[in-house]
Amino acid sequence: GSRRNSFASPMRQNSLSSPTMTPSGTHLSSAPPTSPKASRERNIQVCVRVRPLSEREKDDGHGVGWSWEAQSIVQEVFPNWDARASISGERREEQRPNFTFDHLFVPGSSTNSIYDGVIRDVVDAAMDGYHASVFAYGQTSTGKTHTMQGTDSEPGVIPLAVHSCFADIEKSVDKEFVLRVSYMEIYQEQMHDLLSPATTALKIMEDRKSGTIMVRNLKEEVVINAEQVFALISAGEAHRHVGETDFNAYSSRSHTIFRLTIESRDKNNNRGRTCVSTLNLVDLAGSESAKAVMGLA
C-alpha cells in the first residue's frame, strides 16, 4: 500500500567523497561510522573514491591527476599551472595541495568494499533507530551514480543497503519492522515526487517539537521485499530530469533523495514504543557550475 508522509531530515550525517584521477574531482558523501559506538559519537566522516581514467581521457592524453598514500591525496596535474607559475614565479613543488580524509578508496576498489568498509555501519545505525544519510557529491562523470546505483554485476550503495535492511529483518528475533520508501527529486529548486509525478503540492515544513524538516504530501510506499523497492526505483528514474553536458551525454541535472523509513518495535511488547528512523541515500547533480560547463568561467 502507499501513504503520504513527511520527509524527516537526518539527525546524524556522515560523509564520503571521491576525487578522480583527472584534474576535476568527484566527491561522494555518506553517513558512515566505523563501529556501532563510533556511530553514536562521531556524526560526520568524509571519504574519497578515486576512479581510474576513462577511455576518453586516455585517448585525449590526460595524465593521472592525483597520487595517494594512506588516507591522503596529492594533486599532481595543474591545467593552468604554467600560466600561474609564469606570473607568480612559484614552483610547482611548492603548490601541490595535500588533502586527508577519513577513508580513501583507490582505483580498483569495488563498491562492495566501500559499502563494507564505510556504509554498512550507517545502515546498521538506521536499523537501530538513528537517522542517517549518505551523499554522493562530485562533478559529472566522476562516478556518483555508478557508486550509488551501480550495475547488475556491481551493485551500488542503494541496492546493497536495501538488501542489508531486509537481511537484518529476516535475522531479527525480537523486533518487527515496517519499511516505507519515498523517492524525491530536486530540480531547479523545485521538489518533485518521483513516485507520484502528478503531485505538485510538495512543501517543506518544520516540526517544531522535534526540530526535523519534513516534506508535506511526499508519497511513501510500504515495501516487503527488495524486488519491490527496485521496481519503485526503476519507475521513479523514468521521471527524472536529465540532459546532455560537455562531460556526459546522459547526465542528471537534478538531486535525488531515496529514503527508507524504518519503523520497529519489540515483538514481545504490544504496548512498546515504536521507533522510527530514516535512511537517506542522496545522489547529487554534477557539482560543476553552469558557467564552467559552458566554458564561461
Q: Tell me the pLDDT tens digit for each residue of 133-167.
A: 999 988 888 888 899 999 999 999 999 999 999 99
Residue 242: predicted pLDDT: 65
End-to-end CA distance of the chain: 49
Share of the chain above pLDDT 70, in %: 72
How sure is the predictor about 246, in pLDDT bands with cuts at 50, 70 and 90?
low
How sure is the predictor about 286, in pLDDT bands with cuts at 50, 70 and 90?
confident
282, pLDDT greater than 80: yes
13, pLDDT greater than 60: no
Task: Report residue 224 as a C-alpha cell.
Answer: 516487503
145 is in an annotated binding site: yes
24, pLDDT greater than 80: no
Higher-scoring residue by pLDDT: 296, 240: 240
Quote the CA–CA distance of 284 and 273 in Å, as a whole number. Answer: 35
Of 40-49, 182-191, 207-216, 263-272, the range with the highest mean pLDDT is 182-191
Residue 92: predicted pLDDT: 53
Quote the CA–CA distance of 5 and 200 in Å, as a whole number. Answer: 15
Residue 187: predicted pLDDT: 86
**For the domain 2-293, what is the CATH superfamily, name and number?**
Kinesin motor domain (3.40.850.10)
144 is in an annotated binding site: yes
Reported as type and span, the H/E element at residue 250 is none
DSSP 52: P
Share of the chain above pLDDT 90, in %: 40
Contact 68, 18 (CB under 8 A): no
Q: Mean per-residue pLDDT for 14-24?
A: 39
Mean pLDDT of the chain: 78
Contact 255, 283 (CB under 8 A): yes
Task: Tell me which of 67-71, 89-93, 254-258 is least confident.
Answer: 89-93
65 is in an annotated binding site: no
pLDDT in tens, 78-123: 665 554 554 454 555 556 788 899 999 988 899 999 999 999 999 9
140 is in an annotated binding site: yes
139 is in an annotated binding site: yes
**Chain centre to alpha carbon of residue 216:** 23
Domain boundaries, the chain: 2-293
Residue 254: predicted pLDDT: 84
